[in-house]
Structure 1
C-alpha cells in the first residue's frame, strides 16, 4: 500500500539489491552510475534488468534468490496497469480535494506539478539513492567501490544515502555510523522491534 503505483516485487528487488552489493560499481552492478551515460540511462537499465527477473525470463544465481519472498500472484496483481492507474487516480483525487475543493492550509496550485514524482516515487527514490550515493559525498570506509555518504541530502532519503556505511555494514539496521550522522528510519525500526512487529537479529 505504501508503494502504490510504484510497487516493486520484493523478490525481484531483493535479487537486484543483492547483486548491487556483490558487484558494486562493476559492469555487473544493475544500477551503478559509473557504467551508464546519465541518470536516465541508469534508470532504464535498472528497469530492464528488474523486468527480466520479475517475469522469470532470467534466473539469478542461487545466492541472490535464496530465502527471498516470492508472492507471485500478489506481485502480478500489484504490477498490473489497472492497479497502477487506480493508485494514480487516487493520488489525483487527494490532490484535487486538498488543493481545489477544501483549500487546505499550505496547499497551492503549483503542487499539481508534484504528481508525476508521486506517480513514480519508487524509481525516483531509487535513482537518487544509487546515483547520488555512488557519486557525491564522503566515505568512512574503503569498500573497493564508489559508495559515498551524501550527508546533506540524506534527511530527504531517510538514511538511504549513507551508502558507504551501508555497503560496509549491510546487515546493520542503523545506517549512521559517525556521531554527526543520523538515520531517521532507525528509531522507527526500533519501535517496530519493540512492538514485536519485526524482530531485529542480535548484532
Structure 2
C-alpha cells in the first residue's frame, strides 16, 4: 500500500507502471533482441556463400539453444516464476544466467510479466493474449500477431514490487538481473570464440556468432512465443482451466516440455508439465536429475487423484450422473 499525501486512506499499490522512459527501453529491447535476430538469421543464410554450415555450426546452434532453453523453462519459468521446486543457490544462479542468455528479458522482469499473465490470462490485463482482438478471421490474425510478437514493442510494465517481491529480496538474483545485457553478450561471445577457434578463421567466428548466437535466439524466441500465441487458440484441452490454454504434444521435445500448456495452466505449481511419464518433458527430466544429485528438492508434483479430478471428462461424467 502507498500512503496518501493528505494522510487519508492509503492508495493500493499499482500493479503496472507506464512511462515514456519505460516504453523507450521496451522499444530498444524489441529492436535488439526481437528484430535483430530476424535480420541475423537472414544474414546467416546469406553468409553460407562465404562459410558453409557444418558440424561446428550445428553443435553450436543445438547446444546453445538447449542450455538457454533449459534456463528459460527450468529456471525462469518453473523455479523462479512458479516456485515448483527449490534448488541450491549455485544451481539457481546458473539457471538465471542461462535464461538471461536467451535474450528474453531479465529474470525479475520476466517473472513479473509471466505472473501477471497467469493472473489475467485471456482477460483484459493479460500482456499477450491472442483472444482479445475481436472475433472472426481478422480478429484471430490480429490476436496471433499481437501475442506472438508485436506486444513486446510497448506494453504496461508489471510492477516488480507487486509481482516479484520474493525475487527482489534475493540479492544474488537481483545482481544477476542487473547484468542482463552482459549475459546476453556472453551468450553471443561463447559461440563466436568457439567458432573462431575451431576453424582458426574470422569466417568461422562470424558463422559461430550467427548460428550459435542470433539464429539460436531467433529459434528459441519463436518457440516460446508460439506457446503464448498458438497454444492459447489451438490444441487439446484435457484439464479444466479458466483461460483458453491448450496442449500441443507434438511439439513437446522442441519446446522442452512447455507445449503441455493446458496441463501447466491447470497445475501451475507442478514442476512436471507433462504430468505423466509418457508425455515428453525434458525440462522436468532436468529437474529430476538435479533432485537425484541432491541439487533440487521439494518437487510439488500434484497427486494422481487431484489430476484426475481436474480432467474435463471427469467433470462431464459427474454432470451426466447428476442429471
TM range (shorter): 0.7 to 0.9
- 1:67 corresponds in structure 2 to 166
CA-to-aligned-CA distance 1:126-165 (integer Å, 9 cap, x gap): 2122123212210101312210000111210011011100
- 1:183 corresponds in structure 2 to 281
Q: Does 1:41 align with 2:146?
A: yes
Partners of 2:282 and 2:128 in 1: how far apart? Answer: 24
Q: Which runs of 5+ in 2 are unaligned?
A: 1-96, 134-141, 202-206, 302-323
CA-to-aligned-CA distance 1:77-105 (integer Å, 9 cap, x gap): 2225xx5345324333434555x559xxx
- 1:16 corresponds in structure 2 to 113
Q: Which runs of 5+ in 1 are unaligned?
A: 54-58, 103-108
- Which has the larger displacement, 171-180 or 23-32? 171-180
Bigger-Rg structure (1/2): 2
Match of 2:255 among 140, 151, 157: 157
Contact 1:6 1:120 in 2 (8 A): no
Higher relative contact order (CA 8 A, sep 6+): 2
How much does 1:47 deviate? 5.8
Q: Does 1:28 align with 2:125?
A: yes
How much does 1:121 deviate? 5.3
- 1:78 corresponds in structure 2 to 180
Q: Secondary structure at the match of 2:146?
A: helix
Task: Give the TM-score normalised by structure 2.
Answer: 0.49
- 1:106 corresponds in structure 2 to none
Task: Give the TM-score normalised by structure 1.
Answer: 0.73
Q: How many residues were matched structurally? A: 186
Instruction: Give the number of the structure whose residues are more often helix, by fraction.
Output: 2
Partners of 2:143 and 2:215 in 1: how far apart? Answer: 19
